[in-house]
């Protein structure tokens, strides 16, 4: 079922959902299930599965390093199919511009359609670790709005090559990313919101936000988006702080602010077990306030570990 239908059916009740990262190739998928199992009692109507950019690895061949390009965490669509089958919930693959040609994206969408996947999250992807700026693949999309258009075209039976006739169109519900503290490359929040509007105008059905730690940033963002004419649901993304290093890492990677109250609480922790507790407590307060304001879904970034998400959900849902 589509995310937008889940929201409609909930009639104002806030839903619980979360995001998973595929395991590194070679690792057992049971690890992933072990992290999903404890969260099923909170009845997520959908679970997101991320897609990783490809990266360079270096293989030692008799002292000479061989540079190879590979994807260390493949399997997004397969994992979505297995989650759907095992848990009977909707699983949402993240589809990226980066690292894919339009042709490869079309194949991936065809797989999703055959597997009965009803939702996809359309994203540009970040620059590769070695790159300063995002570089689109040759024959790939440059921005997420172009990817949204390709998905919408396919929903209308329009494939990349006109020779194809479709008698069984897909009908994907399309999610896109939004940034309450603006995307790191955007010149201003208003400019970024105009780009977000381009994605919605291209056919996006809902928005999931980047993590934020100050709810006011989310409320302001929603107000500005509404004023800009964006009417689709805006789902807040929540990440509990889990290690001390997050104080530097999260602002550096995502260009977001962490409120001083949380910074001081984390700085006062003796070890990361204590930081995890502080992160849970903060996310519970954040979630409760968002819920009170009637957000459609609380979407948690689990980073593959569910113990803290379970503690939060147990106090919020």
Q: Is 168 exposed, middle or buried (0-12, 13-18, 19+ CB in 10 A)?
A: exposed
Rounded alpha-carbon distances, angstroms, from residue 81 to 12, 85, 90, 151: 29, 6, 9, 19
192 is a site residue for ligand FAD (CB under 6 A): yes
Among 103, 185, 261, 307, binds ligand FAD (CB under 6 A): 185
Nearer to ligand FAD, 164 or 191 (CB): 191
Find the shortest distance in angstroms from Cβ 270 to ligand FAD.
32
Binding footprint of ligand FAD, residue count (CB under 6 A)? 22
Does residue 235 sit in helix, strand or coil? strand
Among 14, 17, 50, 306, binds ligand FAD (CB under 6 A): 50
Residues 17 and 43 sit within 8 Å (Cβ to Cβ): no
Q: Which stretch binds ligand FAD (CB under 6 A): 2-10, 22-30, 179-187, 261-269?
A: 179-187
Nearer to ligand FAD, 203 or 278 (CB): 203
Find the shortest distance in angstroms from Cβ 97 to ligand FAD.
7
Residue 232 CA to residue 193 CA, distance in Å, equals 13
Residues forming beta bridges with residue 178, ordered by sequence position: 209
Nearer to ligand FAD, 145 or 155 (CB): 145
Among 125, 140, 180, 296, binds ligand FAD (CB under 6 A): 125
Nearer to ligand FAD, 218 or 265 (CB): 218
190 is a site residue for ligand FAD (CB under 6 A): no
Q: Where are the beta strands (DSSP E) in 229-282?
A: 234-238
Residue 301 CA to residue 309 CA, distance in Å, equals 8
Rounded alpha-carbon distances, angstroms, from residue 297 to 148, 236, 252, 292, 313: 22, 7, 27, 12, 12
Residues that bind ligand FAD (CB under 6 A): 50-51, 53, 94, 96, 123-126, 143-145, 177, 183, 185-186, 192, 195, 199, 208, 210, 237
């Amino acid at each position: 079922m589509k995310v937008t239908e889940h929201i409609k059916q909930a009639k104002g009740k806030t839903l619980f959902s979360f995001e998973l990262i595929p395991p590194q190739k070679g690792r057992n998928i049971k690890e992933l299930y072990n992290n999903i199992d404890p969260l099923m009692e909170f009845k997520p109507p959908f679970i997101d599965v991320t897609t990783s950019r490809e990266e360079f690895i270096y293989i030692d061949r008799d002292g000479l390093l061989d540079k190879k390009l590979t994807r260390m965490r493949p399997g997004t669509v397969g994992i979505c199919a297995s989650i759907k089958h095992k848990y009977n919930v909707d699983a949402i693959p993240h589809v990226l511009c980066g690292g894919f040609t339009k042709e490869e994206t079309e194949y991936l969408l065809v797989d999703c359609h055959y597997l009965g996947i009803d939702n996809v999250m359309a994203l540009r992807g970040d620059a590769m670790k070695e790159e300063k700026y995002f570089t689109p693949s040759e024959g790939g999309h440059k921005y997420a709005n172009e990817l949204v258009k390709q998905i919408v075209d396919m929903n209308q039976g329009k494939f990349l090559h006109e020779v194809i006739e479709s008698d069984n169109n897909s009908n994907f519900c399309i999610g896109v990313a939004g940034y309450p503290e603006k995307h790191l490359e955007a010149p201003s929040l208003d400019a970024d919101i105009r780009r977000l509007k381009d994605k919605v105008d291209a056919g996006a059905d809902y928005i999931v936000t980047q993590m934020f730690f100050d709810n006011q940033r989310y409320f302001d963002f929603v107000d500005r988006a509404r004023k800009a004419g964006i009417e689709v649901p805006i789902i807040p993304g929540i990440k509990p702080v889990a290690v001390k290093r997050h104080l530097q890492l999260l602002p550096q990677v995502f260009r977001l602010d962490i409120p001083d109250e949380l910074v001081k609480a984390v700085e006062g922790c003796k070890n990361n077990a204590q930081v995890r507790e502080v992160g849970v407590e903060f996310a519970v307060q954040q979630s409760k306030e968002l819920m009170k304001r009637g957000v459609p879904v609380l979407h948690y970034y689990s980073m593959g570990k569910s113990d803290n998400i379970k503690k939060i959900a147990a106090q919020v849902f």
